[in-house]
């Protein structure tokens, strides 16, 4: 085998290895996203109707973001998808002032 052919083969092998590494990482992320969504569904934190859309959203997240979602899901005592990461009440406060959402929005002004 001549040296040019060896260099081309080595370059092709290196390129293929990089592709395999990239695809392996992406596959692991998809597995984590799928496991997270299935866990949320099983625990009642996600409705069956939201399964596909949630999985699609989580597939686009980085591994760091997926870990954050996983921890938030583990720490959440809520049994509904809307309460998974908290929510603001739309009821006025006891003292008759603004509701929490409106107060939050006006604080930044």
pLDDT for the residue 12: 94
Helix and strand element counts for the chain (H, E)? 4, 0
Q: Which residues contact 88 (CB under 8 A, 6 or more apart)?
A: 99, 100, 101, 104
Asked if 12 and 30 count as a contact pair (C-beta separation under 8 A), the reply is: no
pLDDT for the residue 81: 47
Estimate the crossing angle of helix 3-42 against helix 51-59, to 10 degrees.
140
Domain boundary assignment for the chain: 3-79
pLDDT for the residue 46: 82
The Cα–Cα gap between 6 and 101 comes to 66
Reading the block at residue 61, the tokens are 């997240």
pLDDT for the residue 86: 53
From first to last of its 109 residues, the chain has per-residue pLDDT tens of 688 999 999 999 999 999 999 999 999 999 999 999 998 888 888 888 888 888 999 988 888 888 888 888 888 765 544 444 555 555 555 566 776 677 777 776 5
Whole-number mean pLDDT of the chain? 81
| Max intra-chain CA distance, the chain | 86
Q: Which residues contact 29 (CB under 8 A, 6 or more apart)?
A: 59, 61, 62, 63, 66
């Amino acid at each position: 085998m001549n040296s040019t052919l060896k260099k081309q083969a080595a370059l092709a092998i290196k390129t293929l290895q990089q592709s395999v590494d990239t695809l392996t990482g992406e596959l692991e992320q998809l597995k984590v996203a799928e496991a997270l969504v299935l866990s949320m569904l099983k625990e009642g934190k996600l409705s069956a109707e939201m399964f596909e859309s949630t999985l699609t959203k989580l597939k686009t997240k980085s591994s760091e973001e997926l870990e954050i979602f996983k921890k938030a899901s583990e720490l959440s005592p809520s049994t509904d998808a809307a309460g998974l990461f908290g929510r603001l009440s739309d009821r006025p406060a006891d003292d008759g002032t603004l509701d929490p959402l409106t107060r939050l929005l006006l604080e930044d002004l």
